[in-house]
Structure 1
Amino acid sequence: MYREDGFSLIEMAVVLVILGFVITALILPVTAQREVSSLRQTENQLAIAQKALIGFAQANGRLPCPATLTSRGVEVFEQQASEGGGECHPTAQLLPASTLGIQPVNDQGQAVDGWGTPIFYKVAQSNRGGSALPDFTTRNEMSLVGMASLMPEIRVCASSSDCSDTSYLINNAVAVVFSLGSTGAQVLGGAAPGGADEQANLINDNIFVSHDIRANDSNGSFNHIVTWISPYILYNAMIQAGQLP
């Protein structure tokens, strides 16, 4: 009687397992390369954003306000000054791509990071006199108040659990620009932030956290990439442009 040889179920299972290992070994490096590429693109975008913000201040005598989710990259005010600029809208949290004229943007006109997620932006709203409107977003207000009297109030710390007047990375940033990182799309879609440090950056107050990306930490995972503008870098740039005496 003729008997046709073939693979047994066990042999087929072994082959499938081996194929699974091979495919996984091929996919993981590609995924890692994409993550590195997205990270580098994001860091480059944040650096471009910093330069654009400083250039805007050199040209306009103020920093721009953030954009909202629906303003298509245009800065949004709560109260405008007759001379230009003014008080920023309290719900505006995004980098104003259209106002700054930067790319890339998504189909809603929002500046995006390497993962295609909107880039966030916070600017100081302190007022030291001269007018009732914020010094850093009202045209020529910085010049009117004077560098010695300006007091930007944004603080960036290395941890949300150790952030005070004596423990910080910078205590007088004029602006913060940051990406939500690789998990940003999920967070914007309703998922919980990675932990207390990520949550601190989403409250829309004047306290931010910046440290390396961590999968496991006492304050939860952290995927944000955070950068800021020092007042002294801004002042120097504006002096060079003739916007500050």
Structure 2
Amino acid sequence: MKNPPFQAPKNRGFTLTELAVVLVIISILIGGLLVPLSSQIDARNSHDTRAAMAEIREALLGFAAAKGYFPCPAIPTIASESPNAGLEGGRNAGSCIHPAGVLPWATLAVAEKDAWGRRYSYRVTPEFSNAPPLLPFNLSSIGDIKVLSSAGGVAVATVVPAIVISHGKNGNGAYTAEGTQLPEGSDADEIENRVLNTSTGVWSDGAVAKEFVKRVAPTVTYDDEVVWIAPGVLFNRMITAGKLP
């Protein structure tokens, strides 16, 4: 009896159902990797921005210790690489023409942008930006900036000489390197932290003049980073540098 001729097994491909199952599994695996990676990037950006703002704070204190006053804000609408970009703004009789704007990164020799690629907002009290400074300081009126826990909330700090703000990942209200301002968003606390470019070209504070918000923790709509210089810290540096008796 003859054996049947040998037949090679037929190559059976995947069915559509099997391919669909494989794709679903791959999607789940990739999604599980991307979520932690995104969180890690956000955490790193926040950490890097806080570190940069700590350096900015020291640069501002160093400038004040050397000069006796803080630099004026830079004009926010000047694009990077353009003339005067990042340099402190003009003065009139020694006082800053614009007390609010963006950080004068070129004057201070610090980073222009936060980890998300947007400029830092910056406001300084006129008493501490006059050049030369009006000495002695009136201790009852120094620092016209107030930091709140929320819009209309309790005061976190008062009589603040200078404040710096990163507008966080969402960038609401921030100025870009091109000199344009991003939309302000709908969060009342972030609106409070923006720099407002008025129709007359005057840069001022947000909805409530000279008040800013530093929340204890970020929320779904609020992710600003805020640092300020307390008057006691400033006086200590200036006394050490011989700028105050």
| TM over 0.5, shorter chain | yes
- TM-fit CA distance, 1:147: 5.2
| 2:238 counterpart letter in structure 1 | M
Distance 1:179 1:96 in 2: 14
Distance 2:139 2:182 in 1: 43
- TM-fit CA distance, 1:138: 1.4
- TM-fit CA distance, 1:137: 0.9
Identity %: 33
Asked if the contact 1:117–1:185 (Cα under 8 Å) also holds between the matched residues in 2, the reply is: no
Distance 2:60 2:141 in 1: 18
Which position in structure 2 is the counterpart of 1:197? 189
Which position in structure 2 is the counterpart of 1:207? 211
Asked if the contact 1:187–1:193 (Cα under 8 Å) also holds between the matched residues in 2, the reply is: no
Distance 1:100 1:187 in 2: 20
| 2:125 counterpart letter in structure 1 | A
Which position in structure 2 is the counterpart of 1:14? 21
2:80 aligned with 1:89, yes or no? no
Distance 1:241 1:209 in 2: 31
Distance 1:146 1:215 in 2: 38
- TM-fit CA distance, 1:31: 1.4
Which position in structure 1 is the counterpart of 2:89? 76
| 1:161 counterpart letter in structure 2 | G
The 3 A distance-change label for structure 1 pair 212 and 21 is: farther
- TM-fit CA distance, 1:196: 0.3
SS in 2 for 1:44: helix
The 3 A distance-change label for structure 1 pair 61 and 150 is: farther
Cα-Cα RMSD = 2.3
SS in 2 for 1:65: coil
Deviations 1:109-162 (CA, angstroms, capped at 9, x unpaired): xx111112111111012xxxxxxxxx21113424x2335354211000001032
Which position in structure 2 is the counterpart of 1:33? 40
Asked if the contact 2:149–2:216 (Cα under 8 Å) also holds between the matched residues in 1, the reply is: no
- TM-fit CA distance, 1:214: 2.9
Which position in structure 2 is the counterpart of 1:223? 223
SS in 2 for 1:184: coil
- TM-fit CA distance, 1:190: 3.8
Under a length normalisation based on structure 2, what TM-score does the superposition of the two structures give?
0.80
Task: Identify which of 58, 62, 70 aligns with 1:55.
Answer: 62
Higher helix share: 1
- TM-fit CA distance, 1:193: 2.1
Deviations 1:169-225 (CA, angstroms, capped at 9, x unpaired): 011110111100111178656444250000010141311000144334xxxx10100
| 1:99 counterpart letter in structure 2 | T
Which position in structure 2 is the counterpart of 1:131? none
The 3 A distance-change label for structure 1 pair 148 and 96 is: same
SS in 2 for 1:76: coil
Q: Number of matched residues? A: 215
Structure 2, unmatched stretches of 5+, are 1-8, 79-83, 176-180, 197-204
The 3 A distance-change label for structure 1 pair 206 and 20 is: same
- TM-fit CA distance, 1:229: 0.5
The 3 A distance-change label for structure 1 pair 233 and 88 is: farther
Under a length normalisation based on structure 1, what TM-score does the superposition of the two structures give?
0.80
| 2:231 counterpart letter in structure 1 | P
SS in 1 for 2:232: helix
